[in-house]
Amino acid sequence: MRTSLRFLRHGGGSRNIILGALACSLVLAISSPATQAADKIRISVSGGYNMIFLSAGVAHYKGFFKDEGLDADIVVMGAAPSIAALSNGDIDGTMLTGTVIRAAIRGLPVRLVAGLMTSSPHVLLARAEIKTIKELSGKKVGLAGFGDATHVLARLILARNGIDPEKEIQFVPLGTDSARFSALQQKLADAVVTSPPLDFEGKKLGYNILARAYEYVNYPLSGVGVSIKSIEQNRDQVKRMIRALIKASRFIRENREEAVKVLIAWAKAKPEHAYASYDATVKVISHDGGIPTDGLNLLIDQAKKDVKVTRDIPLSEIADFTILREVQTELGLR
């Protein structure tokens, strides 16, 4: 330090050069994205922190949001509150794909802008004595609720296996995953549609996994939805949010151990449940934010039935993938 100070005292021209360089460095540091105040954003998920929404957790824990100049708060909200908050600007995004699609079909000012899962990790889990799907004819199948994802997936899987779900199955609405699992244990249902890690817990009890939803159909379970106002007036922020979540999704696919560590910390999951959830879900984590066309059409058809709409609805009234395509190009994914 003494040498440097002496140099500055006795070398006038050099001193000015060094001071000028320091000043330039300071200006560049102040103006760089890393030192600017991050944009605060809020993104909603449903039910809690879990594997389905892990892209948000990884984007936070691994700094992908920070790299994009975002300070993201991931909030747990139900479907209806999420759409209300998205429409009035209380949140900046939601990861509830089907909810956004239904809202857009009803004419609300929201759009789906990216996908984070290509299908669903749901499983059809049956009691030990039931070995095949065909054995479910005349039996009770537990769901979260009528008309929801678990109901749609159950009907599709059963129909693909030659069972008429309307005539041969008694569907029982049972609520949450844990409630459905309890009903299976109490023999209130012969099989249930449930999610990881309860498939893992079921196998330990001798139950049988009769089918995994993604083996039958693309059913994009989580994505990114924003308001039309955000697309029009805050496009750059939307773009950075999409880019951070795609980077996080790719990280999840490529880094099992690190992704599981985040799931354990973020979701307060038991290690064995975190590994089981990861292994059962990683196949359907999107690598580029895209949504399979058949899966998107399935969600749209389901949403139209839910809101009792029969007219043809152009995709532009439901989704806007222009920003996604820009991000994919910039990341070398197109």
The reported pLDDT for the residue numbered 3 is 36
State residue 37's pLDDT score: 83
Lowest-confidence range among 1-5, 79-83, 276-280, 315-319? 1-5
Q: What is the pLDDT of residue 186?
A: 96
pLDDT tens, 160-208?
999 999 999 999 999 889 999 999 999 999 999 999 999 999 999 999 9
Q: Which domains does the chain have, with CATH numbers?
A: 39-119+219-330 (3.40.190.10), 123-212 (3.40.190.10)
- Percentage of the chain with pLDDT > 70? 89
pLDDT at 2: 38
Q: What is the mean pLDDT of residues 44-51?
A: 91
* 102, 319 Cβ separation under 8 angstroms: no
Alpha helix positions (H), the chain: 2-10, 12-31, 54-61, 64-67, 79-88, 97-105, 149-160, 177-185, 198-204, 228-233, 235-254, 256-267, 271-281, 293-306, 322-330
Cβ-Cβ contacts under 8 Å for 277 (sequence gap 6 or more): 50, 51, 121, 196, 197, 200, 263, 269
Q: Is the peptide bond before 197 cis (omega within 30 degrees of 0)?
A: yes
Distance CA 78, CA 91 (A): 13
SS3 113: strand
